[in-house]
Chains A and B, each alone.
Chain A
Amino acid sequence: MTEHSRIELADADHLSDHRFTVPGMRCAGCISKIERELPKFAGIEAARVNFSAKRVAVRHDPALGEDAILRAFEKLGFEAQPAADNPLGQDDAESKKLVRAVAVAGFGMMNIMLLSVSVWSGATGVTREMFHWLSALIALPVIAYSGRPFFASALMALRYGRTNMDVPISIGVLLATALSIFETATGGEHAYFDGAVMLLFFLLTGRALDAAMRNKARSGISALLSHLGRGASVVNPDGTTRWIRAEDLEPDMVMVVAAGEALAADGRIISGTTTIDNSMLTGESRPQPAGPGMIVYAGASNLSDPITVELTATRDDMAIAEIARLMDEAGQSRSRYVRIADRAARLYAPAVHSLALLAFAGWMIAGAGWYQSLTIAIAVLIITCPCALGLAVPAAQVVASNALLKCGLLVKDGSALERLAQADIVLFDKTGTLTLGQPRPINLDELGADDRGIALALAQASRHPLSKGLAAALQSEGAAPAHLDQIAETAGIGVSGEWRGLPVALRRAPSGSDNPASELLVGERRVRLEFADQLRPDVTETLAKLEELGLSGQIVSGDREEVAASLGRDLGVPAIGAMLPGAKLERLEALKTQGHFPLMVGDGLNDGPALAAAHVSIAPGSASDVSQQAADAVFVGESLLPVAKAIRTARQTMRIVRQNFAFAIGYNVLAVPLALAGLVTPLVAAIAMSGSSIIVVANSLRLARSAR
């Protein structure tokens, strides 16, 4: 807390705040390192870490630019990215409102229960009346406050002539409250304040869980989103460079694109030769050489050497804009999906309401007075009010999504889990999805143990994409970095250093083959390392597991036909290559009209429309921002296994949800006759409700181990 107040006390007028995403924070040491060391840089006043969101708020001198702060992070050994301006949007406010409503309902419920216990245990006369009045005094403001989420949503549904779960809930709560007030005013025997408030409490708990799940996934995904390529270093007339956001870029500006950076806009190369990776844009896996005069597109990334690019198009007529248009159209079909809870409500609400009406009419005909008939009708409404139903879905989904989160899969919301369970065919993109989408060395076995240590130490010192790929590959094979002296990186050439007196270097290799390559120098010895995009480690296992679950796989790739076909043969699945974003979309539509529920797994910008159009979609954490936002779930790490786990867990979740529903309905079958017979007292209602809610939650908790 001390750090926090220090930031607030600082002279706010002269300082500006910026938020940065730092995915690399893993431990307490990272927190203290950032919070202590960052303010030591000139111009930075304070830093405050939010570890859960992997975000750092930096208070700094406005003269200090974003890139200077990023460099400060880099010096501390952290990769940081500027976070979006409004990181905690409305969703967070909404979930806080729900938690507050839960707290108020919980407070009301406990106090009213306390009073009810003495009424149930036989208080009569003045005592009972006073306790009823006291209950009313607590219940009315509590219902008015905590009931708002339901009332608002029910009103909205009714206004559009529809019905959802909130309609029967609202009617039940309001009628129970009205009846209880009437009972209290006339000195009657039964008041249902406790039932009404308890109902709100359990249902709000379900809602709050649901909101918490969505927020957790969203903050996880925003921590993954790369903000590279969202802007560019533009060269000023005087030769200096400044950072400009992508939306402010204009034609004829000249930008410098470093190795490893993504292009923010379309343009023509004016100097520098390099290799360009278009896989995000087209699915083509082979990096392409590019030199002065060539046109390069936004979304592609620069692999080997810095280039300067003159911009030719503005944001609206870039190559990406076409993909964005396709995505807008594709996203509409998914919004037609109706969640299982609302589907249940569609059947449930009319049934409950007509049952209550029938009870009222029945007792009137049978000769009971209108008062007694009304009491019984309301008792039917309360007892059937879907406490367990309201918890049945969110409780199961929250537990399941937490379990999936632990194995590296972020599911964006409950509807995504429901749709995952329905999937019956999987379409995979190739580059970046089945493969790592990163150049990895293919001839590592030419390196001896010493060479490996040296190569790892050198590769770790560089941010070049080939070095990153080399470092990742060596680390995964268990190499430990050798101790080197005098490590220095020269942009465009490589990294050099000294190992036991020998000069060593990792540098650009003379061109010789299709693959990008680098060269390791140890003294006089040279080893040429070739790089290519390789398959993710568990692809075959994942496909087999999906097959087991009854999902057949297909590869739809934007890469060349022969590359896609040969991979398809290796993996034993049908593969189509050379597919444009529109063609992927058509393929999905065709599957959908055949009655399939396709799951799309893809990463590139060119997969964006397909991810948005598929029945459900998953993107890897290395995917483009657009794809991560379009996808229903994102998995992190190199393994593809979370895809199969997601399907299995989603199906288990639906099984539990159905059990919960069956239980809730079974309980109604038992309780409704009691209510119809006029035997339901507030005591019976309270026991029935809390009992059924607890059983539903306990049943859902069984999912906690499902993702293992």
Chain B
Amino acid sequence: MIINEVKEKIYEIGFDDIIEIDAAPNGEPIDYRDLNAMIHARTLKNCKKIVLYNICGQRFIGAALQGDFEIIINGVPGNDLGIFMDGPKITVYGNCEDQVGNTMNQGSMIINGNGGDVIGLSARGGTIYIKGDVGYRVGIHMKEYKNKFPIIIIGGTAKDFLGEYMAGGIIVVLGLKFLPDGSIIDIDQSICGNELGTGIHRGSIYLRTDEKLEDKLGVGAKIVEFDGKGKEEIGPFLYEYCETFNIPFDLVINKQFQVIKPISKRPYGGTYCNKMI
């Protein structure tokens, strides 16, 4: 009987319900707790698409949400966007702040703008696609297990400590610049900051550049050649990224990539006997 009741309820509300929420009625932004409670209530009613307008720094949007639905954000979401998220798709039209995809488990995130610091920290799965530049400590302590791994693709540049203590997953930095007239060129500055991949012990960082990265390498990281295997690894995701942001795939793939890998699985294993293994 109970099952029947649930089924009736689903039928009543429907699957393709789109709900729009104005997060700043009369210009006054609502509290993040109220906003998240609203989103939660809607998702429990099988709403498949939630469109948020006038977002202004509300934190924890999409926190710990599970299921297959989409959240579209217009504005600047606050810290910890999609924290512990497990499945949904979040699209942001605007810049975002720090800690996007904190400990994310599954799902996808598309940022049509720049990102802040510490994106994808401790992420365990899912994809984060960012069109513009990102800040410091992106992909810190990402991890992977068997077939489950997180992917971060950055269109612009990254700053210091990219992939710090990385324990799995893939980070790709493309070094592209999007001009106001719609054309796409390669950047003329450095693609990443210093301490690249410090303490990395699994996973890989792909950088689309021909600049010398030796000086920027952190402890425990090394540069390896970009071979067919690497192409196979990032190819499908890169293709999806290019489709998402309307970037010609040939332009992206036809340039030298460099790959950062760990020198060992346990870079600090020898800490107490003064050597690196």
Bind each other = no
